[in-house]
Chain A
């Protein structure tokens, strides 16, 4: 058993290298993941933006945090998809019959999800800069934003792992992400919640996306974040832990 433990991290490294190669061999996945959020950004800034009263003069600044969350919510679909394909092909059986830690292939996918989503986030921020996004945030605030996004990615990735492991068909793999992509629309990501009818408003103001968006918006504007960030992180951590436990249980059942 010791030999397994010794190589755990290098094995995960090989697995990460493998799925990162998948991404570099098919850059179209990065493009597909970034194109929809960029289209939303263009649409909201240049089409609807004029009619939306947010109380700020720079709507790109207002919009960007929500767009990044949408990008991650759609980006993790590929993690579920890649995992599903691995389960279907014989490659996981090969890995599992080799002297490597049983969870290494899974961790490879999870880390790949973090890296590939980070790439999409950077691409989208660059486009936003061209569209007039400006931030007065210092390095610490940027690090805090990066941390929030990483935690959000991890939380959703573990949900994606459950979907990828338990899906019965390719079509079924992506379905879980639709509500996640839709969630930012019923939050303060695009418009202030004040104009919403009371029931919708109550939902919007208390769901995690609003806390995440408000925390990032304050950080990027160089303002104090208040307790939004605490609630936001608690949501992410909670989702991540629950999803992780379910995902690991599913993995043990399916790949045992």
Chain B
């Protein structure tokens, strides 16, 4: 078995005149959390769409779990899950119905039992039979990720998983992502939130102007810049710490 879940070489993509990806190279080690950073419109979602077989690339190669995305899309689809930027849940169905539907589409045994287990694991049992349109943003995201875990894919793509979530929900998602990685699932995530990358990622790549300009561990990235200076600064509480303290939860 190869020890890279994703291998991308010289990946190119243009939308008409717009050259979005100008030769992307990177690898994601199996079982690790890989964060792709970049500003809006940098092409993070484009990379995810190519790797999840939603979009065809113009040049270079991309392999996911050892399968070429262009020539073996069905094999890729078998071994991955995508949690898109906008919660990919069915608003009109209940949480339980959403999970059962995905389990059926993955042709698994006992879809109802699977759904029950996931509802429990993600703290959605009480809301299981309510329509998703009544869920909060955090609940919706939790359901979204739960749906992605059905069928135990080896690699999960999370496109800006915490965008639009409140701090509490964000910390919950972070916890889930860490648990996923501990259980051996490879996680590819995109984010604009630097703290998120710092908290979660084993490796961080920065996408800028169609190219990966930096790729390394947090330690390696820190070494690229002058060594830390020692300064004495009064420790101010951040608003986030205050918010979390008041509502009685502690951040990590």
Contacts of B101 in A (CB 8 A): 14, 17-18
Contacts of B93 in A (CB 8 A): 18, 21-22, 25
A22 to B93, CA, bound (A): 7
Residue of A nearest to B75 (CB): A99
Q: Is A10 an interface residue (CB 8 A)?
A: yes
Which single member of B49, B86, B105 contacts A14 (CB below 8 Å)? B105
CB of A25 within 8 A of CB of B131, answer yes
Residue of B nearest to A93 (CB): B84
CB of A26 within 8 A of CB of B92, answer yes
| Smallest beta-carbon distance B65→chain A, Å | 13
Residue of A nearest to B56 (CB): A256
Which single member of A4, A17, A18, A93 contacts B88 (CB below 8 Å)? A93
| Smallest beta-carbon distance A103→chain B, Å | 14
Which single member of B78, B84, B104, B106 contacts A90 (CB below 8 Å)? B84
Q: Is A89 an interface residue (CB 8 A)?
A: yes
Q: Is A7 an interface residue (CB 8 A)?
A: yes
| A90-B85 CB under 8 A given contacts A14-B104, A14-B105 | yes
A7 to B106, CA, bound (A): 10
Name the residue among A10, A90, A95 with the largest chain B CB count within 10 angstroms.
A90
Contacts of A90 in B (CB 8 A): 84-89
A21 to B85, CA, bound (A): 25
CB of A11 within 8 A of CB of B84, answer no
A98 to B107, CA, bound (A): 11
CB of B84 within 8 A of CB of A21, answer no
Contacts of A7 in B (CB 8 A): 107
Which single member of A14, A17, A97, A100 contacts B54 (CB below 8 Å)? A97
Contacts of B32 in A (CB 8 A): none
A21 to B131, CA, bound (A): 11
CB of A3 within 8 A of CB of B74, answer yes
Q: Is A1 an interface residue (CB 8 A)?
A: yes
CB of B97 within 8 A of CB of A21, answer yes
Q: Is B147 an interface residue (CB 8 A)?
A: yes
Which single member of B52, B87, B91 contacts A97 (CB below 8 Å)? B52
A216 to B78, CA, bound (A): 49
CB of B91 within 8 A of CB of A89, answer yes
Contacts of A10 in B (CB 8 A): 104, 107
Within 8 A of A (CB), among B52-88: 52-56, 74, 77-78, 80-82, 84-88
| Smallest beta-carbon distance A173→chain B, Å | 16
- A10-B107, A100-B105 given; name 6 further pairs at CB < 8 Å: A7-B107, A22-B92, A93-B49, A93-B82, A97-B54, A256-B55
Residues of A near any B CB (own CB < 8 A): 1, 3-4, 7, 10-11, 14, 17-18, 21-22, 25-26, 89-91, 93-100, 256
**Which 4 A-B residue pairs are closest in the complex by CB-CB distance?**
A90-B88, A90-B84, A94-B88, A99-B77
Could you list 15 A-B pairs, sorted by A, with CB under 8 Å?
A: A11-B105, A14-B101, A21-B93, A22-B93, A25-B92, A25-B93, A90-B85, A90-B86, A93-B49, A94-B88, A96-B54, A98-B105, A98-B106, A99-B77, A99-B106
